Structure 1
Amino acid sequence: PPAAAQLGILRRAHGVASVEAQLQCPLTLQQMKEPVICADGHSYEREAIEAWLLVNNVSPLTHQPLSHSRLVPNHALRSIIVAQRDCGSSCQEAGADSSWRIDPSKLTISGVVLGRGAWGVVREGTLLEDGLPRIVAIKQFPEADQVADLTRELELLAFATVRCSHVCRLIGVCRLDGLVCLVMNKYAESLHDLLARNGKLTLQQTLRLGIQLARAVGELHDISIVLNDLKPSNILMDKWGDLVLSDFGISTRIQNNLSRIMPSSIKGTTSYMSPEAFDPEMFGGVGPATDVWSLGCCLVEMASGVPPWDGLRHQEISRTVCDKRETPSLPDGLPAAAIALLSSCFKYEPAARPKASAVHQSLVAIDASQLQSLHSTAEASANASGDTRPLVLASVAFSEETKDVDNTVAARLEANAGASDGAAGARALDSPGVEKQDLDIALALSLSEQCHVVQTAATPEMEMQQLETALALSRAMAMQEDARRGRGE
């Protein structure tokens, strides 16, 4: 809906004073003009948070360490702020506002299909912004009776975008060639694409992506949104490997403090559906626990490379889950804690499953345990060889498409080479497998003189396992340093 209409919805739901307080920057306590989302999931005025990050690496609100320093423009919140400023108190009622509207003459839709669903087709397009082309994703609603579906999806997406940092970013809406078009940010690929290309992921990759995914689902549950169709093709990834959730076509928002809702029909993708999704009446409806089952299915697919119930038809899966009460098979080689966590996600009774936030906490604990184990192994090896230097990073590398962006960080590392006995430079290498966050960790540790960052060349003798071990050691030492600072040591 237009931003002014969305503002009216928010005011009626939460009260004028509450909504206007949410439009203020937590740092300046003034209404924001250019809101951006920080790594802690909260929105701030850009200038204020940039100044904060120059001297701090923790959240201004939670005081927890920030995983990165990237700032994402909060377009939906800015649109609501503009509507609030322009409309004032008269925005209590839904009204027309141009801030969500896109000039159709600036939008071109290509023939590239990014995805299809029961509620629309998503195509690639180009949007001219200030004379410069921007590649976008466009969800089309070709039939008049689908406008209601678009309105519902827009309401949920706008509501989530204001409050969550891990949802697909809304740009605006327009009508082009008789089609209603929802224009969104285009991401590098989906988790489905990644799995189709690489097969199953390593345990380290599964844990890292699983942590992001559980946090994203938990954010939506905190604002009472149930996805109803969580699956790898609806999990998008940017060029850094960060996840966002997309496709709110069959999502719902639970109202009036209810824990479940009764859908009008069976909805979802069979391989990821819970017992209550197949038979809502038996369980009294669907709710956040429905997404937790789907979250477990996504984790299983990441670790195994194949979706749950692969090869079975819809009716066979329904009978297996509902009548036989069977759960998806768990991949071999998982730690005992991971097996226990997945088993809890697949409890038959929805109330027995953990919350998404608890899944997130468990995955973080499992990841920390794995990193500590690798750290101990690397430390023992270093002691045996007589070289006890904390070698934190064996190589820093970028993929071709992100090199230009990341070279600025690499330059900062090289500029600090020789700055102290405890820091040395690192050079960007053209090899896959290393992410920007590993470079950020190396930079942070280098500047804090906590370790040596060594420069190496990409040689055939360097095994990817060695590289992953070095990177894991880097993250483990960073976690230890964060814990030490938290204790005030």
Structure 2
Amino acid sequence: MSTSNDLLSCPISFVLFHDPVVAQDGHTYERAAIEDWIRRNGKSPITQQQLSIKHLYPNHLETRIVDSFEEFTRNKKYQFTLDIDIRKSDRPFFQTQTKSIYNAQWLLNNDNLSEIVLLKINGARARKEASFYVELTRHPNIVRTFDFVNDKDDNRQNGAVLLIQEYACKGSLYDLLQEQPVLPNEKVLVQMFLQIIEAMIYLASNQVIHGDSACRSALVFHADPNNPENNVVKLTDFGLSRASQLFSVVPSSAQTQLDIVPVRYAAPEILLDSTQPDHYTEKSEVNSMGVLMWEAYSRSTLPWTNVERDEDVIQLVTMGDVLPQSSNCSQPY
């Protein structure tokens, strides 16, 4: 495991420090994360030297740095201003119909601040979805969102919402699997799946259904193709509450409901009638998670890749067809 470039985050969990401690290897970790690591491995995740829980000492300097960052965000009242607090790149490095992600950097006191990106959300439900990111940000497997950004020149004109989020240095799970020459060890994939499931359980416990689970929705903060314990993924791109219709039809002469429902990942009940909010449940999430795992085992192959039209996929799934077991998936799984 390599060290993190982010001075505010634990190199094991990649979560903002809460109780930072220094170990015998001279590196700082979140106490709970390094204690768990030592119990399971006994050695430093960075230097491989033997470590002892008895020799973990509070890092008061790191605590002050984190407290300073938290105070910085509180003083801003969780409202940042573009080109005053942060700067974004001119063009996004990722873009869909409703979202764009830009490289970004802090402009003030940025020596010890987290690496960040700027997420721009467009559309009728932009602020509703953005609020989920902000409110549900403190889980180790959910991408951290620092808060809203005010863009005086743009936001009020088109209803777009800007958010500051932590930067995932390895990109998405989709990108990672496509770029690697061989599939990671199966135990590595399972560890990633478990982290994604933990995030989905947390969302469900807060009355939020992800609604669009796929490899592109899992961001990779650390990757090791051979050691399961050295992998960290976090879920993003969520925002479907039980009581709302985030995927409801946006008024448009050309757009239909199925244009915005992730057809190839959706459960049969959603494909039968995507206008019913009670069809988006933990059960439909389990279905999407199964498709995500198939996609990962297939190295980011599009589900139902041999079926060209989404309409035909809908017919197959609603008639009971399922994706075949991937050839890379062993029998125990």
> What TM-score, normalized to structure 1?
0.47
- Letter of the structure 2 residue corresponding to residue 190 of structure 1: S
Q: 1:187 aligns with which of 168, 188, 202?
A: 168
Q: Secondary structure at the match of 1:108?
A: strand
- Letter of the structure 1 residue corresponding to residue 86 of structure 2: L
Q: 2:240 aligns with which of 245, 252, 257?
A: 252
Superposition deviation, residue 181 in structure 1: 2.1
Q: Secondary structure at the match of 1:101?
A: strand
- Letter of the structure 2 residue corresponding to residue 213 of structure 1: I
Aligned to 1:298: 292
Q: 1:227 aligns with which of 205, 210, 219?
A: 210
Distance 1:74 1:301, change over 3 A: farther
Are the counterparts in 2 of residues 237 and 244 from structure 1 also a CA contact under 8 Å?
yes
Q: 1:139 aligns with which of 88, 105, 119?
A: 119
Distance 1:199 1:270, change over 3 A: farther
Are the counterparts in 1 of residues 88 and 104 from structure 2 also a CA contact under 8 Å?
yes
Output the aligned Cα RMSD. 4.3
Are the counterparts in 2 of residues 263 and 286 from structure 1 also a CA contact under 8 Å?
no
Point out the structure with the larger helix share.
1
Distance 1:282 1:101, change over 3 A: closer
Are the counterparts in 2 of residues 40 and 66 from structure 1 also a CA contact under 8 Å?
no
Q: Which has the higher contact order (CA 8 A, sep 6+)?
A: 2
Aligned to 1:174: 149
The 5-angstrom pairing of residues 206-355 of structure 1 reads: 206-240=189-223, 241-248=231-238, 251-254=239-242, 264-265=248-249, 266=257, 267-280=260-273, 284-305=278-299, 306-312=301-307, 313-322=309-318, 324-338=319-333
Are the counterparts in 2 of residues 39 and 66 from structure 1 also a CA contact under 8 Å?
no
- Letter of the structure 1 residue corresponding to residue 172 of structure 2: S
Superposition deviation, residue 52 in structure 1: 9.0
Distance 1:197 1:292, change over 3 A: same
Aligned to 1:201: 183
Taking the aligned partners of 2:90 and 2:33, their CA distance within structure 1 comes to: 47
Distance 1:41 1:169, change over 3 A: closer
Superposition deviation, residue 55 in structure 1: 12
Distance 1:284 1:253, change over 3 A: closer
Are the counterparts in 1 of residues 174 and 296 from structure 2 also a CA contact under 8 Å?
no
Distance 1:200 1:166, change over 3 A: same
Are the counterparts in 1 of residues 92 and 101 from structure 2 also a CA contact under 8 Å?
yes
- Letter of the structure 2 residue corresponding to residue 187 of structure 1: A
Q: Secondary structure at the match of 1:217?
A: helix
Superposition deviation, residue 99 in structure 1: 2.8
Are the counterparts in 2 of residues 321 and 327 from structure 1 also a CA contact under 8 Å?
yes
Are the counterparts in 1 of residues 121 and 130 from structure 2 also a CA contact under 8 Å?
no
Superposition deviation, residue 239 in structure 1: 3.5
Are the counterparts in 2 of residues 229 and 269 from structure 1 also a CA contact under 8 Å?
yes
Larger radius of gyration: 1
Q: Is 1:117 matched with 2:103? A: no
> What TM-score, normalized to structure 2?
0.66
Superposition deviation, residue 205 in structure 1: 2.9
Superposition deviation, residue 170 in structure 1: 1.1
Superimposed CA distance per residue, residues 321-379 of structure 1 (whole angstroms, 9 cap, x where no aligned partner): 11x210111112533331xxxxxxxxxxxxxxxxxxxxxxxxxxxxxxxxxxxxxxxxx
Taking the aligned partners of 1:282 and 1:109, their CA distance within structure 2 comes to: 38
Distance 1:110 1:118, change over 3 A: same
Taking the aligned partners of 2:83 and 2:154, their CA distance within structure 1 comes to: 11
Are the counterparts in 1 of residues 269 and 279 from structure 2 also a CA contact under 8 Å?
yes
Distance 1:171 1:221, change over 3 A: same
The 5-angstrom pairing of residues 345-384 of structure 1 reads: none
User: Where does the alignment leave 5 or more consecutive residues of structure 1 unmatched?
Assistant: 1-34, 84-96, 339-489
Superposition deviation, residue 291 in structure 1: 1.8
Paired residues, what number?
274
Superposition deviation, residue 270 in structure 1: 2.2
Superimposed CA distance per residue, residues 400-436 of structure 1 (whole angstroms, 9 cap, x where no aligned partner): xxxxxxxxxxxxxxxxxxxxxxxxxxxxxxxxxxxxx
Q: 1:161 aligns with which of 130, 133, 137?
A: 137
Are the counterparts in 1 of residues 20 and 29 from structure 2 also a CA contact under 8 Å?
yes
